[in-house]
Amino acid sequence: MSPTYDVIVIGLGGMGSAAAHHLSARGARVLGLEKFGPVHDRGSSHGGSRITRQSYFEDPAYVPLLLRAYELYEDLERATGREIATLCGGVMIGRPGTRAVSGSLRSAREWDLPHEMLDAAEVRRRFPTLTPAADEVGLYEAKAGLLRPENTVAAHLQLATGQGADLHFDEPMTGWEPYRDGVRVHTAKGTYTAGRLVICPGAWAPRLLADIGVDCVIERQVMYWFQPDGGIEPFRPERHPVYIWEDAAGVQVYGFPALDGPEGGAKVAFFRKGATPTSPETIDRTVHDDEVRAMAEQVSGLLPDLPGHFLKAATCMYTTTPDEHFVIAPHPAHPDSVTVACGFSGHGFKFVPVVGEILADLALTGATAHPIGLFDPARFAAGTV
């Protein structure tokens, strides 16, 4: 008996929804299984905005994937009519030796990416909302900007459904095992067979992928929205860029323009500062007063008008690997039938469409032309990392 599906995709957040789209676009019979409803806020693909940028301080090896992701985001907007990317420009600010500045400059030079180096006075002149210290500089990238995560997931789900994918929501996987030449997947509602399995578990990786040899830590993170003193006009995307600011102590803050009118405010967050290990089941989703005060105090050093009035906050989760690089690869124990994508370590959403393309490559052909050697879980073998 042949399997019911060519590929089953577990998890339909950012990466899983993109995988379902790219697989079904190639004619594969796809089943997608999601623990929650469509475009939910219980994982990591929510919060209204994510930064996208090409001068990537994390590692220049990511740049080719970013360039492809930019192309795919344009395709996604054209195909669905949804607002996905706003390239309002972005500036990485700090002392010249900080990772945010020096790492961005390294990638920009290595890949010949358009960029400008600005001294503090020029940053202040161009972007009056930003007040870097005299010894700080900024790398400005016109092609940086922001992505709409909810719209992105919804767009991929829309296309996948239109291409014939069978998407089941509120139906979590309870287990799977090898079966004949493929896999068998169990849920509370049924059992399904497929030739291949793609697992995109997000913060559920420590439980669902405990056997791949990667020690992922789930971190509680908080996003904050403030109403700036003097109103939002200076903070609109036409005037205010996305930004990452790294202070002298190495603490990074990132933020966005005001996107959703006066009631929406401007969003800001720490990048990994004070991350609290947690799990999807135990995360504290209450944002406490001392957290709001700490955020307001930190961001006022660069944007003195921003923390005028606190509007709201929301939690999300990072699934972080020991080296903060991704895991995208065939399953080490089941390389011919299972592909995994996890550990996006708080900087993965900008790669969503190209990760979907890679997962489709791996599931259908066993290989990809994209450079993913950095993401092999074998790097965590004893003594490697």
**92 labeled part of a ligand binding site:** no
Indicate the residue type of 25.
Answer: A
The DSSP symbol for 349 reads: G
**180 labeled part of a ligand binding site:** no
**359 labeled part of a ligand binding site:** no
**25 labeled part of a ligand binding site:** yes
**45 labeled part of a ligand binding site:** no
C-alpha–C-alpha distance, residues 336 and 239, integer Å: 50
**18 labeled part of a ligand binding site:** yes
**295 labeled part of a ligand binding site:** no
- Among candidates 209, 77, 101, which has minimal Cα distance to 155? 77
**124 labeled part of a ligand binding site:** no
**For 353, left (φ over 0), alpha (ψ -120 to 50), or beta?**
alpha
**31 labeled part of a ligand binding site:** yes
**125 labeled part of a ligand binding site:** no
124 CB-side CA count, 13 A: 11
Q: DSSP labels for 43-74?
A: SSS-SS-EEE-SS-TT-GGGHHHHHHHHHHHH
**326 labeled part of a ligand binding site:** no
**107 labeled part of a ligand binding site:** no
**303 labeled part of a ligand binding site:** no
251 CB-side CA count, 13 A: 15
Q: DSSP labels for 231-290?
A: -SGGGSTTT--EEEEE-TTS-EEEEEEE-S-TTT-EEEEESSTTPEE--TTT---PPPHH
**345 labeled part of a ligand binding site:** no
**249 labeled part of a ligand binding site:** no
**105 labeled part of a ligand binding site:** no
**385 labeled part of a ligand binding site:** no
C-alpha–C-alpha distance, residues 7 and 195, integer Å: 6
Contact 4, 195 (CB under 8 A): no
**213 labeled part of a ligand binding site:** no
**36 labeled part of a ligand binding site:** yes
**211 labeled part of a ligand binding site:** no
**33 labeled part of a ligand binding site:** yes
The tokens describing 295, both together, are 């955020």
The tokens describing 194, both together, are 């497929």
**11 labeled part of a ligand binding site:** yes
**14 labeled part of a ligand binding site:** yes
**10 labeled part of a ligand binding site:** yes
C-alpha–C-alpha distance, residues 364 and 6, integer Å: 9
**8 labeled part of a ligand binding site:** yes
**103 labeled part of a ligand binding site:** no
- Among candidates 279, 255, 258, 38, which has minimal Cα distance to 144? 255
Contact 16, 173 (CB under 8 A): no
Contact 350, 44 (CB under 8 A): no
Instruction: Give the annotated binding-site residues.
Output: 6-36
The binding site for FAD consists of 6-36
